[in-house]
Amino acid sequence: MKNRRQFLKGTALGAAGALILPKAFTRSISNKTNPHSQSGFPIVISTWSHGLAANEAAMQILNGGGRAIDAVEQGVRLTEADPESTSVGYGGLPDRDGHVTLDACIMDHTGNCGAVSYLEHIKHPISVARKVMDETPHVMLSGKGALDFALAKGFPKEDLLTDEARQKWEEWKKDSQYQPIINVENHDTIGLLALDKKGDISGACTTSGLSFKMHGRVGDSPIIGAGMFVDNEVGGCCATGMGEAVMKTLGSFLVVELMRQGASPQEACEEAIARIVKNQNYNDMQIGYLAINKKGEHGAYAVHPLFNYALLQKGKNKLINSPSYLN
């Protein structure tokens, strides 16, 4: 029996190793870094230009000695409440039936996480996801169940479809053709990662998803390991762009595991994009990855040009253009 247990244990470890270290990454690690990367924390980093304001809100908490988990929640709440951000929260573009449905996830340094998907009528899905994490034994609630939970926790029920979003939907219905446009904010999540003064990491991700999507569609943003993933021993990653491509590769988990094996954040992001380019038709879709390690170093990479991200570190908050596979 002992020999059998040893055999099974060895087999399981071998299988896990095969999953974690795919053949595609057996090339030597070159310690390639992002030219804008530097060590040091606290740090807040987030996707797209709407991340600049979110970073500031998050850093206020970190500078006051607050925890990364509180910082990431508060940071993206600012974006969720902004009607000018048509891919997140209030003001998000609806699905093809006119419903604004929201997805979000959050994860702390201990590995605890919470998520909501297909949530209507609640302006701050990230805070509902936080409640799922803190106050239930579950990781994700969806649809009516998520709404009922949010209402029971005191979140107000609101109409999230703004006049501007409604007008865009009415215009879209004239042709009713769905064609994602690269780098146009019809699918641009805000993902935000933070290291606090203790060096603990947390992450948050929230979106209204693809504009004019099929009713019921859920993307990568609420999926732990796809839209976002953190590991306090290693670092964290968040994703933006075409969620279906991210889900097919569990991109954020992949980036973190590559960093665990010794890759820099930049190398890990590039390898994750390489997996997508190798196996999927990437010509008409954008995917971007953003990662930090425990030193506060970061990396970013996208399929197409024009993905940008906001970095707040050592008192400077700046928007940076990410390198990309295609130039």
Whether 189 is a known active-site residue: answer yes
For 306: left if phi > 0, alpha if psi spans -120 to 50, otherwise beta; the answer is left
Whole-structure pTM value: 0.88
* CATH architecture of the domain formed by 39-321: 4-Layer Sandwich (3.60)
Residue 26: Cβ within 10 Å count: 7
The confidence score (pLDDT) of residue 284 equals 84
Contacts of 181 (CB under 8 A, 6+ apart): none
Q: Which residues make beta-bridge pairs with 105?
A: 115, 205
CB 209 within 8 A of CB 90: no
The confidence score (pLDDT) of residue 243 equals 93
Among residues 79, 86, 162, 189, which one is catalytic? 189
Q: 56 in helix, strand or coil?
A: helix
DSSP string, 300-320: EEESSTT-EEEEEETTEEEEE
Q: Which helix (H) or strand (E) holds 298?
A: strand 298-302
Give the torsion sign (CA, 311, 100, 112, 67): positive
pLDDT band of residue 175 (cuts 50, 70, 90) is: confident
Separation between Cα atoms, residue 289 and residue 12, nearest integer Å: 30
Contacts of 115 (CB under 8 A, 6+ apart): 103, 104, 105, 106, 129, 132, 139, 140, 141, 222, 223, 224
Name the one residue in this structure whose structure tokens are 């969620």.
243
* Whether pLDDT at 183 is above 90: no
Domain ranges of the chain: 39-321
The confidence score (pLDDT) of residue 6 equals 47
Instruction: For residue range 188-232, list pLDDT tens digits in order.
Output: 789 999 999 999 999 999 999 999 999 999 999 999 999 999 999
